[in-house]
A = this chain, B = another copy of it.
């Protein structure tokens, strides 16, 4: 904090204002003086104080992200690290930083948003894990905090969304299983409170309907490993038990697969399984998991850019659609058991 704008101004024989203009590439100084000022600034090793800059320009130069997941779940989900890395990619070019808040305890989430908004710690936030009728969009409105949402909320939202449709991935998974001769294809869904929990379920239903099949083998879970076990157990207990299960995420697929095997079922001999996310460990499972690969890093990059554009006033106001995820076929899916799907003679 040694050298300030005044020092530079003195040394260059100009006013503070001139230095400010020179620094920010704004008109108001001749190229000659601008060059001289920049030169002097460099010699003196001047680093403009973010705090002073923020105070006068009423900006925080920071974006906020509040993550409200159980740390356990967080630790296994490959989404956030990659997503955050993507955000950083964008911020690295923009003199902005990321303020991260992990809200574990109930009620901590709203407090976290207030904390970010109150003192003006961030200029905007990225909203992830959007929920059905998400109360946070009202909150952000109240706090007058600009935002971008990941996928479009199902309630009215004034914020631009950056979306990656789950439909195609799930559809591809179901079609892959149909092609393998499966007819009784179940779905272990994530918490239906989340819109991505809902959309994945709907995509499964639609794909089944398109094949003229009933979408009745559904069990709701919560994206956690124990939840996956319980839901799998429920489906396998049914008389018309499925020969294939499409899971809403990798963690549930992993624990579901493990459970099925512990019950003496062979995967994929008796039961085919698909996940969602392409967590790295899934390729080391036994058998390796067929799953759906998304691109969270790109999602983060684009979402951060959208938010910056919005703050900057250069955002079109329209939603952004990212490329849909794609199916990754591995060994956890195979032909339907012949006892159940008798080929035509």
Q: Tell me if B81 and A102 are in contact (CB < 8 A).
A: yes
Tell whether, in the assembled complex, residue B118 and residue A97 are in contact, meaning their CB atoms are under 8 Å apart.
Answer: no
Residues of B within 8 A of A78 (CB): 75-76
Whether A285 lies near B258 (C-beta < 8 A) is yes
| A236 contacts the other chain (CB 8 A) | no
From B50, B80, B99, give the contact of A120 (CB < 8 A).
B50
Within 8 A of B (CB), among A88-106: 88-89, 92, 97-104
Closest to A224 in B: B280
> A319 CB to closest chain B CB, in angstroms?
25
For residue A58, CB closer than 8 A to chain B, the reply is: yes
Copies of this chain, tallied across the complex: 2
Closest to A252 in B: B284
A286 CB contacts on chain B under 8 angstroms: 258, 261, 285-286
- Is residue A51 within 8 Å, beta carbon to beta carbon, of the partner chain? yes
**Are A82 and B74 CB-contacts (below 8 A) given A119-B50, A285-B258?**
yes
- A339, B65: Cα distance in complex, Å: 56
Tell me whether A281 is interfacial, beta carbon within 8 Å.
yes
- Nearest CB on B from A207, distance (A): 27
Contact present for A99 and B98 (CB under 8 Å): yes
A76 to B81, CA, bound (A): 9
8 contacts across the A-B interface (CB closer than 8 A)? A50-B121, A51-B120, A71-B82, A75-B81, A84-B100, A98-B100, A258-B285, A261-B286
- A interface residues, tally (CB under 8 Å): 62
A9 within 8 A of B: no
User: Measured between alpha carbons, how far is A284 from B257 in the docked complex, in Å?
Assistant: 8
- Cα–Cα distance between A121 and B297 once the two chains are bound (Å): 25
- Residue in chain B with minimal CB distance to A278: B75
Q: State A261–B284 Cα separation when bound (angstroms).
A: 10
What B residues does A61 contact at CB under 8 A?
119, 121
Min CB–CB distance A257 → chain B (angstroms): 8
Please measure, in the bound complex, the distance between the C-alpha atom of A288 and the C-alpha atom of B285, giving whole angstroms: 11
* Residue from the list B77, B102, B121 in contact with A84, Cβ < 8 A: B102
Is B82 within 8 A of A75, CB to CB?
Answer: yes
**Assembled-state Cα–Cα distance A119/B100 (Å):** 19
Assembly CA distance A85 to B109 (angstroms):
13
